[in-house]
């Protein structure tokens, strides 16, 4: 008979605020990560601090925010009203304390729960807050949420406002690194949504005059737009819409009270519905919704009284009401779009004609592909049933909670040995594996028809669930895992070409990555070090000294499952695939997969030289 576990008063424990945040950080900032993904925790920390600065601007206090990120230290300075001096310590260290509970002060605030800066404080190895107002200054310093120094109230000539300095705790965020590209995108979103606001990041000024129109202008090059961006503003709502020449799926950017709701919500669903309804009524035709929205690129921003989000990270709106005397979110957006979008189409005949031609073209393409799509879906379903290509994770098999979506990852591998190693060593709750059979087809210049006719592409599309839009994307992270040799890099290029050609929004929204795996294993009898570069190999040899064994991994299949678990776990290294903002998608596709130009030859030689040298050396 098994011994019964004792359960007494000694088993009951109360955690203070900082202990709970540090023990369960995912409840407050989503996933942790190392900074390689735009939704990693270190960026959420920065966002929480910036949100407070934005709220000050919205309330009419402070038109400039200064942000400095150097190595691991972040400094954010606003010129708002400043935290009330007697509450400087409380607002960053006492849960359920803040000014945003008083809706008179913060009518349409981003952060309502009084948690944001407390989470930053608790998850930082160093945190300092300073408030300047009424000619006086008050500051306090913390380590891991513990108050270490509170400065006395003093006279100051500094401009009013709040300054926060923090260093994310490496015990929580292992091997983290800030990527300026992600910070710049976050800052751009803030200025798009707040015309008149300047944010200075590491000395560079970001400013927007035209709001969401500027966002779409930066998202889609002029050459890729089917017609000029339609930009409409109203009370507590702003939208921007165009259609792309270069992509097939829908792409949306949605915001609530200045917060980027990357997973959409009730407002985005209403926006998509309103576009379809308005177009049908304008043309007097019952066009299929997918034909109207095919290739659409849109943005919507609304302001809601006391919004309800589905998680602390505020990535999906759950509210159905606008608040105050307004109707529901759905009714408000439908009425605005119907009235203003319809008026625009009546006044801009050329745009209306281009839009209708695009809808009719999409209708023809859909009908031409209907038979192929049906067969393709049947093949995908059959392959899934027999588990030939996709080894799914438990979130999609019903054994885990949806809250872990941000952690979901699909590894795209080549060869049975590599996919076998990853499958055996993965986290079955959040990590899935898709196994490629041979080299993918070069899809450059081909039509969407090839996605359904080519088995690899069809099954990959089905695994990701991205045929119509990204809204139902099954994995937050899509990771290309190929060998670090010439063939492996060729497969990477072919896969990137596939996504650029048919699903560029996956790259734009930072879902696509390259898995970095070690090139060398250096070990002696006491210690093993895995090295990702020649520099790291030399460091390892110097550290271990004496007689060492050096192994060169020439392929992923050579790495055992016992070793692989270290490279796709907490210490995973990912390189994000990013678009060049100065080039159109067509230009990039032509460069990488078009005619073999001297420029491309030079690029390939420069990027493969290190790898080839290492192979020859080994």
What are the pLDDT digits (tens) for 66-105?
999 998 999 999 999 999 998 889 888 877 555 554 544 4
Convert 295-363 into a string of H (helix), E (strand) and C (coil): CEEEEEEECCCCCCECCCCCCCECCCECCCCCCEHHHHHHHHHHHHHHHHHHHCHHHHHHHHHHHHHHH
One domain for residues 403 and 342: no
User: How buried is 541 (Cβ within 10 angstroms: 0-12 exposed, 13-18 middle, 19+ buried)?
Assistant: middle
Residue identified by tokens 């909670």 is 401
* Torsion from C-alpha of 200, 204, 206, 207, nearest 10 degrees: 90
Q: What is the mean pLDDT of residues 370-386?
A: 68
In a domain, 69, yes or no: yes
Tokens found for residue 369: 């592909």
Residue pair 139/113 in contact (Cβ under 8 Å)? The answer is no
One domain for residues 414 and 463: yes
In tens, the pLDDT along 236-269 reads 899 999 999 877 788 899 998 888 888 888 899 9
- Give the Cα separation of 526 and 177 in Å (integer): 30
CATH number at residue 347: 3.30.230.10
Helix axis angle for 349-385 and 266-283, nearest 10°, is: 120
Convert 559-575 into a string of H (helix), E (strand) and C (coil): CCHHHHHHHCCCCCEEE
pLDDT bucket at 130, cuts 50 / 70 / 90: very high
Residue pair 521/550 in contact (Cβ under 8 Å)? The answer is yes
Higher pLDDT, 199 or 465: 199
In a domain, 530, yes or no: no
> Of 331, 365, 399, which closes a domain?
365
- Give the Cα separation of 553 and 560 in Å (integer): 11
- pLDDT value, residue 431: 92
One domain for residues 249 and 108: no
Q: CB under 8 Å to 490, separation ≥6 — which residues?
A: 439
- Give the Cα separation of 20 and 162 in Å (integer): 26
Strand spans (E) along 178-317: 198-201, 204-206, 230-234, 237-243, 251-256, 259-260, 296-302
In a domain, 406, yes or no: yes
Q: What is the mean pLDDT of residues 317-331?
A: 76
Higher pLDDT, 380 or 73: 73
Residue pair 442/497 in contact (Cβ under 8 Å)? The answer is yes
Nearest Cα residue to 312 out of 27, 1, 73: 27
Q: What is the mean pLDDT of residues 478-490?
A: 85
Nearest Cα residue to 483 out of 429, 436, 528, 548: 436
pLDDT bucket at 488, cuts 50 / 70 / 90: confident
Percent of the chain with pLDDT over 90: 40
Percent of the chain with pLDDT over 70: 83
- Give the Cα separation of 396 and 430 in Å (integer): 9
- pLDDT value, residue 174: 87
pTM: 0.80
> Which range has the worst mean pLDDT, 135-149, 325-339, 382-396, 563-577?
382-396
Q: What is the domain count for the chain?
A: 3
Nearest Cα residue to 99 out of 88, 114, 120, 78: 114
Nearest Cα residue to 116 out of 41, 14, 167: 41
One domain for residues 467 and 409: yes
- pLDDT value, residue 400: 44
In tens, the pLDDT along 7-56 reads 565 555 556 778 888 888 888 888 888 888 888 999 999 999 998 998 88
One domain for residues 354 and 421: no
Alpha carbon of 267 to those of 44, 121, 254, 261, 572: distances in Å? 22, 32, 8, 10, 35
Residue pair 497/589 in contact (Cβ under 8 Å)? The answer is yes
Q: CB under 8 Å to 381, separation ≥6 — which residues?
A: 462
One domain for residues 464 and 497: yes
Q: What is the mean pLDDT of residues 196-219?
A: 94
In tens, the pLDDT along 578-602 reads 876 666 666 677 766 766 666 666 6
One domain for residues 293 and 153: no
- pLDDT value, residue 179: 92
CATH number at residue 91: 3.30.565.10
In a domain, 371, yes or no: no
> Of 206, 231, 247, which closes a domain?
206
Indicate the SS3 state at residue 522.
strand
One domain for residues 175 and 312: no
- pLDDT value, residue 563: 85
In a domain, 460, yes or no: yes
Tokens found for residue 613: 């040298």
- pLDDT value, residue 107: 53
Indicate the SS3 state at residue 131.
strand
Residue identified by tokens 């200054």 is 137
CA-based torsion, 179, 180, 184, 190: positive or negative = positive
Q: In what order do the strands lie in the sheet with 528-531?
A: 528-531, 520-523, 549-552
> What pairing do the DSSP bridges indicate for beta strands 512-516 and 573-576?
antiparallel
Helix (H) or strand (E) holding 128: strand 124-133
One domain for residues 392 and 350: no
Residue pair 294/362 in contact (Cβ under 8 Å)? The answer is yes
Q: CB under 8 Å to 464, separation ≥6 — which residues?
A: 410, 473, 474, 475, 478
Nearest Cα residue to 423 out of 564, 555, 526, 582: 564
In a domain, 216, yes or no: yes
CATH number at residue 607: 3.40.50.670
One domain for residues 241 and 262: yes
Helix axis angle for 212-219 and 180-193, nearest 10°, is: 140
Give the range of the structural domain holding residue 562, as residue numbers without chain letter: 387-517+553-617
Across 2-16, 360-374, 537-551, the highest mean pLDDT is recorded for: 537-551
One domain for residues 60 and 101: yes
Higher pLDDT, 164 or 152: 164
Res. 414: pLDDT tops 50? yes
In a domain, 544, yes or no: no
Please provide the average confidence, as pLDDT, over all residues in the chain.
84
One domain for residues 269 and 401: no
Residue pair 562/568 in contact (Cβ under 8 Å)? The answer is no
User: What's the angle, vertex CA 162, arms to CA 159 and CA 166, rounded to 5?
Assistant: 130
Res. 129: pLDDT tops 50? yes
Dmax (CA) of the chain: 83
> What pairing do the DSSP bridges indicate for beta strands 161-168 and 204-206?
unpaired
Residue identified by tokens 């592909």 is 369
In a domain, 379, yes or no: no
> Of 155, 186, 206, which closes a domain?
206
């Amino acid at each position: 008979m098994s011994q019964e576990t004792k359960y007494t008063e000694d088993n009951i424990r109360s955690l203070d605020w900082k202990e709970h945040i540090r023990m369960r950080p995912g409840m407050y900032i989503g996933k942790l990560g190392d900074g390689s993904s735009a939704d990693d925790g270190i960026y959420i920390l920065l966002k929480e601090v910036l949100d407070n600065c934005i709220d000050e601007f919205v309330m009419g206090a402070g038109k400039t925010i200064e942000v400095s990120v150097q190595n691991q230290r972040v400094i954010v300075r606003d010129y708002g009203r400043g935290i009330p001096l007697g509450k400087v310590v409380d607002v960053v260290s006492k849960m359920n304390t803040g000014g945003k509970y008083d809706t008179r002060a913060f009518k349409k605030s981003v952060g309502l729960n009084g948690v944001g800066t407390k989470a930053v404080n608790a998850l930082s190895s160093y945190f300092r807050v300073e408030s300047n107002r009424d000619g006086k200054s008050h500051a306090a310093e913390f380590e891991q949420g513990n108050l270490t120094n509170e400065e006395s109230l003093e006279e100051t000539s500094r401009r009013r406002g709040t300054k926060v300095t923090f260093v994310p705790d490496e015990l929580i965020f292992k091997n983290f690194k800030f990527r300026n590209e992600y910070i710049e995108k976050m800052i751009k979103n803030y200025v798009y949504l707040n015309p008149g606001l300047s944010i200075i990041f590491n000395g560079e000024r970001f400013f927007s005059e035209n709001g969401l129109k500027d966002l779409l202008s930066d998202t889609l090059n002029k050459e890729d737009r089917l017609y000029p961006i339609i930009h409409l503003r109203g009370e507590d709502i702003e939208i921007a819409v165009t259609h792309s020449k270069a992509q097939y799926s829908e792409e949306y950017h949605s915001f609530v009270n200045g917060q980027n709701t990357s997973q959409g919500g009730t407002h985005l669903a209403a926006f998509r519905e309103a576009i379809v309804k308005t177009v049908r009524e304008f043309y007097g035709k019952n066009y299929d919704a997918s034909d109207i929205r095919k290739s659409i690129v849109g943005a919507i921003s609304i302001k809601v009284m006391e919004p309800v989000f589905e998680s602390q990270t505020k990535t999906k709106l759950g509210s159905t009401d606008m608040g105050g005397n307004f109707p529901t979110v759905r009714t408000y957006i439908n009425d605005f779009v119907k009235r203003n979008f319809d008026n625009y189409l009546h006044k801009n005949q050329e745009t209306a004609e281009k839009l209708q031609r695009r809808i009719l073209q999409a209708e023809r393409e859909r009908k031409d592909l209907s038979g192929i799509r049906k067969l393709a879906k049947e093949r995908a379903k059959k392959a899934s049933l027999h588990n030939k290509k996709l080894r799914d994770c438990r979130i999609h098999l019903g054994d885990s909670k949806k809250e872990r979506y941000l952690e979901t990852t699909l590894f795209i591998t080549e060869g049975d040995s590599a996919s076998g190693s990853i499958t055996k060593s993965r986290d079955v709750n959040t990590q899935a594996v898709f196994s490629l059979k041979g080299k993918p087809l070069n899809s450059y210049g081909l039509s969407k028809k090839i996605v359904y006719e080519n088995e690899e592409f069809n099954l990959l599309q089905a695994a990701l669930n991205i045929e119509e839009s990204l809204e139902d994307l099954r994995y937050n992270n899509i990771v290309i895992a190929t060998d670090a040799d010439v063939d492996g890099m060729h497969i990477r290029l072919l896969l990137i070409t596939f996504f650029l050609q048919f699903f560029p929004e996956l790259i734009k929204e930072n879902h696509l990555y390259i898995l970095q795996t070690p090139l060398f294993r250096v070990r002696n009898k006491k210690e093993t070090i895995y090295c990702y570069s020649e520099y790291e190999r030399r460091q390892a040899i110097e550290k271990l000294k004496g007689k060492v064994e050096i192994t060169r991994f020439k392929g992923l299949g050579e790495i055992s499952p016992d070793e692989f678990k270290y490279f796709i776990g907490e210490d995973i290294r990912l390189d994000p695939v990013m678009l060049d903002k100065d080039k159109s998608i067509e230009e990039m596709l032509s460069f990488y997969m078009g005619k073999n130009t001297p420029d491309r030859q030079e690029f390939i030689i420069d990027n493969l030289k290190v790898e080839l040298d290492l192979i020859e050396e080994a």
